[in-house]
Every structure is written in C-alpha cells, then in structure tokens.
Amino acid sequence: MLHVIAIDLGATKSAAAVFGSNGEIVFSETGLLKKRNGRAVVELLSDQVAALMKRSAENDLIISSIGICVPGIAYEKTGNVWCPNIPGWDDYPLLGELQRSFPGIKIKIDSDRACYILGETWRGNAKECSNAIFLSVGTGIGAGILVNDQVLRGASDIAGAIGWMALDRPYNKKYDSCGCFEYNASGEGIARVTVEMIASEKFKESELAKMDAGQITARNVFTAYEKNDPLAKEVIGNAIECWGMAVANLVSLFNPEKIIFGGGVFGPAIKFLDDIYEEAKKWAQPISIKQVSLEASALGTDAGLYGAARLAMKD
C-alpha cells in the first residue's frame, strides 16, 4: 500500500510523519531546529526523511511521495522558499537540495497557510469544501484560500497576505511594518493595542496598566478579559470588530462555504466566533454571509502536518 511522508517545518521544530492514504499516522517523529540555519536545516529534514523511509521499508510500506509545509513562501516555479525565521532561507533552493538527496521520489513544498487549508479540507472541519479559507491568527495573520479545490497562489505565490487588509481609514504610519489588520488583531497586535491604550487615563485601574509594557502578551489580555478588566474588554472588542470586517470581506469576495479559524490566538479567541459572525453580518454581502459557516480548526497544531500529507498525495 502506498504511503507518504509529511513534514511540518515550524520556527523551532520539524514534525515529520508517515501517513496512510486514509489520513492515519503510521509513524511520526520530531526534530528540534536548535538555531540551525541554511543548509543545516536541509540536513535535519533529510535525516528525518531517511529515518522514516527506513522504518517504512522495514514494515513493507512503500513511500510514494513527500510533502513539506514551510513557515513562509514557497515559490512554485523554482521550488525555492523564503522563510523569515530561518537564517539563510531567503529564496533558498529547498526543493532542489532535497530532490538531490532523494532522487526519483516526488517532493512537493507549500506554505504553511496553504497546507493549513489543505489539511482542514482533507481531515478537518472543512471536509468536502471546494471553496474554503483558513484564517491563521498567531504572531502574524495569514490566510490559506481554497478556490475551486485549488490553493490560491496569485501571480507570484504571495496571495493570502490578509494581515495587510485595509480596514480603518485614514492610513496611519504605524501600519507600515505589518498592515492594518495585523496591527490591530494579531497576537502581537492585541498586545500592542493594549500598550497604546494604557496611555489613556480611562484605563489606569486596569491590572494590565500595572504591568511592564514589555511583558504584556495577548495571553495576559485574554486572562484579564475573563476577569472583566475594562481595558482587556476594549482591546478584544477592537479585535472582534477587525476579525468581523475581515470575515465580511472574505465572504463578499470569495463566497466560501467555510472559514476556519486557527493559530495561537484561536485558541482563546474561539469563544468569540459568534460575536465575529455578528460583526461580519453587518458588513458582508447578505446572501453570501448566510451561506458561510465559521468554525475552529479541527486539527489545531497538526493542521500543517496533515496539509503536507495531503499535498504529497495530490497529483
């Protein structure tokens, strides 16, 4: 029976697994990046592939292909990748390097956001959807967009950069480094907006105002929200408005069946899905918004790994 190897390369570790065609994980293993960079990361991946191939052979499993999920951009034409968190991987020839180590086996690489939506449509909460979107909200914000069963790549593989979505005019210079939506509603954004608001007299009683600005994280803000902290309520309310507007814009433009929420912030923010839907409903194309369903990721931190397996299985 044919099996595939899937690898989800993250910022600190590389999760690898052998998948059967029904989505079952047969073997898995994890390698830590430990500040590796450039060629050393390729060696880590190659070692993982070699180990999983050996184990597969010992168990009479045939590996037909390899799928790899990378934290950045995967350029389809060249097989090169750009991964800001891996030093030296700026237009790095990852496919070429791996293919040299494993000639004769099909290797496919795609971005994390592309893999997330592939994973969710294969084995998660967007099963059988042909038009669905994975909204990943962690440190940053990105979207994996499935259109007519195909991942939307754009002209140069950088489609889905939804963190740059314009939602709140006029333009403010503070959006320069990451975009308006991400500035307001990513994990880092939630911390940043909190620090900005602490300056206001109104929130001097907030427990967050008593912390060092450098110590404030989205997690602190969610914890304070649970205790009805007024500053946390304001910041989360701001984020819900932005998430709702972004959902509305995705719905009006793409008319998707589902939008799946994942990443570190969803997580704790999953409880706000109904509020996000209510905000989106105000703005969106009125028929389209009734047809969409907002859901949590079913695969959580495994979405990239499942997506890489799905990628490997696709023609």
Binding site for a copy of itself (CB under 8 A): 129-131, 143, 145, 147-148, 150, 152-171, 175, 179-180, 241, 245, 248-250, 252-257, 279, 282-285, 287-288, 291
Q: 280 and 248 in contact (C-beta within 8 Å)?
A: yes
Least distance between a copy of itself and beta carbon 70 (Å): 17
Phi-psi region of 150 (alpha: psi -120 to 50; beta: other; left: phi over 0): beta
Q: How far apart are CA 280 and CA 111, in angstroms?
A: 27
Closest to a copy of itself by CB, 162 or 305: 162
Q: Which is closer to a copy of itself, CB of 129 or CB of 305? A: 129
Please name the residue that has the structure tokens 């042909």: 130
Sheet holding 141-147, edge to edge: 150-151, 141-147, 132-137, 258-262, 293-296
Q: How far apart are CA 288 and CA 253, in angstroms?
A: 9
Say if residue 267 is preceded by a cis peptide, omega within 30 of 0.
yes
Provide, rounded to whole angstroms, the least separation between the CB of residue 223 and a copy of itself.
Answer: 26
Nearer to a copy of itself, 123 or 153 (CB): 153
Q: Which is nearer to a copy of itself, 271 or 282 (CB)?
A: 282
Q: Which two tokens stand for residue 47?
A: 């070692």
CA distance 34 to 46: 16
By C-beta, is 42 or 162 nearer to a copy of itself?
Answer: 162
Q: Using the minimum distance from each CB to a copy of itself, give the nearer residue, 3 or 258.
A: 258
In the complex, least distance from residue 266 CB atom to a copy of itself, rounded to whole angstroms: 19
Half-sphere exposure of 133 (CA within 13 A, CB side): 25
Provide, rounded to whole angstroms, the least separation between the CB of residue 275 and a copy of itself. Answer: 13
Contact 310, 118 (CB under 8 A): yes
User: What is the closest distance, in whole angstroms, from the C-beta atom of residue 283 to a copy of itself in the complex?
Assistant: 4
What is the pairing mode between strands 258-262 and 132-137? parallel
What is the distance between the alpha carbons of residues 91 and 103, in angstroms, rounded to a whole number? Answer: 22
Nearer to a copy of itself, 159 or 265 (CB): 159
Could you tell me whether strands 132-137 and 141-147 are parallel, antiparallel, or unpaired per DSSP bridges?
A: antiparallel
Helices (H), 186-300: 187-198, 218-226, 230-254, 273-283, 286-291
Q: Which is nearer to a copy of itself, 279 or 295 (CB)?
A: 279
